[in-house]
Structures are given as C-alpha cells and as structure tokens.
Amino acid sequence: MGAPAKLLALGWRDRGLLMAASCALAGAWIGLRTAGFDATQRAAAGAHRSHAWCGPPPRRRRMPPSAERIAWAVRAAGEYLAGGGNCLVRALATQALLTRYGYSAQLRIGVRKADDGGLAAHAWLEAGGAIVIGDFAMDEYTALVAPSARQSALEQTPVSGGNPPGGIDDTRGDR
C-alpha cells in the first residue's frame, strides 16, 4: 500500500494530526536554519505564543491525542519530509505539538564519543518522566545539563569557608 492509500485509510483525526506534524517538522527545520537553535526551541516550547508554528490550539470538544500518538505522527510525517529524520528536528516538532495540546515536555540533548574520536550528539524529548521521541541507544549518550539548570544548582550549593581546590591562599601575608 502506497503513502497516499495509507493516508486515506486513516481517520480524519489522524490525518489532521499528520498534517500538523508536517507543519511542525517544516517549522522546526526552517527555524533551525534561519533563526537558530535558541529561538526555535523557545518557539517550540511555547514561550512566544501557545501555538508556536503549528496553528492555533484546537477546540477542546474531544480528548487531545496522547503524547505517543503525537510522536507517531511526527515519526510518520518525518519519513516523507526533507530533514524530518533529524533527531533535533523531530524533538522540536514533537515539543511544539505537545505544547499545542497542553502537554509539558523537556528537550534533552546528549553526547557520546564517536567512533572517529569526535563527538556525536542526539536529541530526545521527555514528557511525564518518559521518553516520547528519540529513544535510540540511550545508554550510549550522556545528557547535557541546560545552562539555567546548572546555574540554579550552583546557586543552591553551600559555599564552604576554605579555598577552592588548587586556589590561591590570600592569608599568607606575603605580597
């Protein structure tokens, strides 16, 4: 069965979700190339407006799709769109759709040492403590900590009265 036949075999809600996923993927791909990561991630997270690039939030006559169904739509649409196979594009598109439907999600980026000695990176999205999209060889990647989370952790760390390890001791008096 070809792609058009598969699309027509779906119900109207799934077809609409696939169209929204296509728009979100295109928005993420274009946003990363024109506005950069920070602006695209803020838009996907809904910092500017609640509907990011996916259109206005749907009317709540029916239950919103589950996070798993949204991830399915992004994966399915990503197979047919340029750049749709990129993990960062998929994670940002999924985040935009989850935000559109009222879910909270956190973008995670991890790194590992590549076979050639360089770094390899991977992006995934977590919602409700579970990985929604990007669950790929997770045991190989070390998640990076967001700068804001790192700063708040440093601010909460109690400061001891001594010198830092390897620091300069100003109490000797020899200047």
pLDDT per residue over 107-158, tens digit each? 999 999 999 999 999 999 999 889 999 998 888 999 998 666 555 555 655 5
pTM above 0.85, yes or no: no
Residue 169 phi/psi, 5-degree rounding, is: -95, 110
* pLDDT recorded at residue 151: 54
CA atoms within 13 A on the CB side of 97: 34
* pLDDT recorded at residue 11: 76
Domain boundaries, the chain: 3-153
